A and B are shown apart, each in its own frame.
Chain A
Amino acid sequence: MSITEKILCSKSHEFLLDNGDNTYTVGLTDYAVEQLGDIVFLELPEEGTEYKKGDTFATVESVKAASEIYMPVSGKVIAVNTSAADSPEILNEDCFEKGWLVKIELTGNEAEQADLLDYEDYKEEIE
């Protein structure tokens, strides 16, 4: 099963991946990355920080502009992709696997995922 078959996407272009071990990975969708163009800077949160669904948890900068990245669900950051922060261009190469942003433990309930779309529906939504 490819990764795009497993992820859920927000309308603000973040993805949420259930890792199957009570942890989730959060990143930016390929559409977001393509729209941004060359990614040149990434500001990621500290491990241990807790966010509510919809909070800004990171900032991504393309050559042209800075954009905020929002939590698709409530969660506590348990891992940060420091290699993406060091080499943000890896998001342009592979946003789903190498270019993930943070791993979290959920702190909210399942209902928070109700407005997230599977990848096929997300693609349709943005077209």
Chain B
Amino acid sequence: MLAGTIYISFLGAAGLLLLPKGSVTAARILALLTAIAGFALALTSFVHHRSGELFTVTRVPWIPTLGIEYHLAADGISLTMILLTGIIAITGILFSWNIVERTKEFFAFYLLLIGAVYGVFLSYDLFLLFVFYEIVIIPKYFLIAIWGSTRREYGAMKLAIYSFVGSTMVLIGLIAAYVVAGSKTTSLVDLAQYPFSLHFQMLAFPLVFVGFAILAGLWPFHTWAPTGHVAAPTAASMLLAGVVMKLGAYGCLRVAMTLFPLGLGPWGFHVLGLTSWRDVFALLAVIGIIYGALVALVQKDFKFVIGYSSVSHMGFILLGLMTLNQIGLTGAVLQMLSHGLLAGLMFAVVGRMVYARTHTRELAILGPMNLWKIIPFAAVTFIVAGMASMGLPGFSGFWAELMILTGAWRSYPAYALCVGFGIIIGVVYIWRAMLKAFFAETGVELTSPQPSLPPITLPERLGAIILIGASIFVGVCPQVFQNIIIPAFNSPLFEGLRKGSWQ
């Protein structure tokens, strides 16, 4: 049944293309219904599979000559990500209600992207996972290049090239692993249990990990993220930050770390005090957290603030992965969910509620408009999102960051301190952006914005409420997710990781 999420999205995309020319409302409604149907399926599965154990959805031979199967399965981690995808899909459509130019195509690309994302999260065959992973690139490119704003063609191309280079690295590792294991199967579980030599894992792990981590915004390969986010239309930046970056992190966890667990082990020598790839990536993650936060602190463009904050928050996820203990890894998955919701919400505020009305994102120009009086809903939403993003208790970010910090404290006490510093800068940049964007400083002459801004519409309110509600739900009952994420790490897929460097 869960496989339906993929098919429904693709069918919806095809159905949109068949609509008669110029049917804007019909396109919106069809897209929304498709997204809701996908979410409903995801939610039903989520409720049915409370154990979090791995279960097979579909498994049929696909290309028997090469031992490739069409194998969809899910565990607690996949279910969490599927649920996130469903929520972001619905709210993204709600926040794109104002798209009037080439509406049909917009939503068709959008649903194609969503379907492929569902596919990645559900694939348990490496080849199949890669197929879905690459399908994501093309609609992403067109969504930005056609409907984007600031330097959209540059941002779109940069994003496409970065993604493709990343997936090329993954493909090299994938082909090598497949051939070394005897060219018999691409099943993720079978490959994960194949005893690759230490030497091979040491080379393949960084290749595949970085390949995926490029999409997860790993410093210093993150530069596509801010430009891509800024250039993208609202719904696309919500998707990018909300789920597409998670694809990268998910790939790191699901593919790179499970296939080559020995690659995380010590090299046997020191370079600058680093002793393993794990140290290297943990360090890069921490640099990403602090660098992203510091850069976000000095941005003039409202959307760039959020773009860099994404880089910073994705650093938490990667650090959580590198802690290699249960609490850190669970925190990383929870952070994927939390950041997906919150980044989506923030991009919605900036892109849809503010930019679509004022046609500027310059903090210096937004400030004197004193927007909190004109569109208070936007201001309140941003404040709530900012609070959640800072990691205040009661919101999703709190638990995720707490768990990652605890995990990091056990593995890398020094890094945990740096991360704490990063969290403080996080408070500062959110605070600064909030003040500058919505509240005029005293003594500044108020500029009245273009003849009275249109009020916040119903779809926008709905979308914001869904996202805030979801974040609060995760913040209040994190155990709902913890209970299904933790058992997922007991599956045979993670055996190598548990036996190896697990702490």
Co-complex (A, B): no
